[in-house]
Amino acid sequence: MTGMLVGCSAKEDKPSSQVAVKVNKGEISVHQVNDLLSRSGNIPPDQVAKARSATVERLIDQELLLEQARSNKLDRNPNVMQMIEFSRREILARAYGEQVASGAARPAEAQISQFYDEHPELFAKRRVYSLQEINIQVAPDRLEEVRTHLQSAGNPQQLMTWFNEQKIPFTVNAGIKPAEQIPLEVLKNLAKLNPGQAGFVQTPTGGVLIFVVGAQEDPVDRVKAKPVIEGFLVNRARAESVKAEIKRLREAATINYVGDFAPPATESPATAEQGPVVPPNPKAESEDAPSVQSIIEKGTIKLK
């Protein structure tokens, strides 16, 4: 829906230098072409002309569809109007979140160095893991039983045999994962394990048994780690800025829940700070305009 909003601006007389294509009575501006082209990321110089041509053709198709939508009065359809309004709200909320996040301070050298020292599992003692994961679905009152059996089981196959006997549903995944692709809270415990050992992570539906099949040392020095850590800390600071602003706005606002829309008694209203500022709408999401929630979730480490 966001893409269709590009052509919704009022028609104005433009100098010919600003018009890329005229489609029937409509026009596609150079700005529209350049804006959509910029969303394609880094384009090799020898591919720019081809990419620009493809972008123009895409906008022509969009303009033709837009003309038909208006001709069929779809812009007056209540459902369409609601989606347009939703997109408008989301875009504005997203823009303010980006504005707040952009004011986050960059980390000092001491902060970068401290992060490196505090996380050897990501850098100085980084490993690439060969893992086998068994995701189980089990009631909370049986988790202790599973943990106990995990300690006594000789290998994953014996454990899966026991799951079948106990009629505990499970799925198995195996693969190679570098340290930075593992959630930090899991990695801290995984880094303490040797090949042949296993860990357990509780999930809302049961748990995940993680067997370390193998682990290869692949450390990252301070020089290589510095830009990675800096990017992580910047994103974390951006996330904290947005969360702090949401908290401030909530405390200053008058919020009255009506009827059944009040949060459960066991849930604190502050819990809403952890959720999206606006309802998720994958169709309206684009790489150049991340949602406020994606700003909050960007605190990830990527070494490769």
pLDDT tens for 84-122 read: 999 999 999 999 999 999 999 999 999 999 999 999 999
Q: Residue ranges of the domains in the chain?
A: 3-8+15-76, 93-123+220-304, 127-217
CB neighbours of residue 175 within 10 Å: 11
Is the pLDDT at 291 greater than 60? The verdict is no
How many alpha carbons fall within 13 Å on the CB side of residue 282?
0
> Average pLDDT for residues 9-18, to the nearest whole number?
54
Is the pLDDT at 277 greater than 50? The verdict is no
The span from the CA of 300 to the CA of 5, in Å, is: 32
* Confidence at residue 17, expressed as pLDDT on a 0 to 100 scale: 63
Is the pLDDT at 293 greater than 90? The verdict is no
What is the three-class DSSP state of 221? coil
The two three-digit tokens of residue 180, written as one number: 């930075």
The span from the CA of 129 to the CA of 122, in Å, is: 12
With bands split at pLDDT 50, 70 and 90, how would you rate the model's confidence at 260?
confident
* Confidence at residue 268, expressed as pLDDT on a 0 to 100 scale: 55
- Whether CATH 3.10.50 fits 127-217: yes
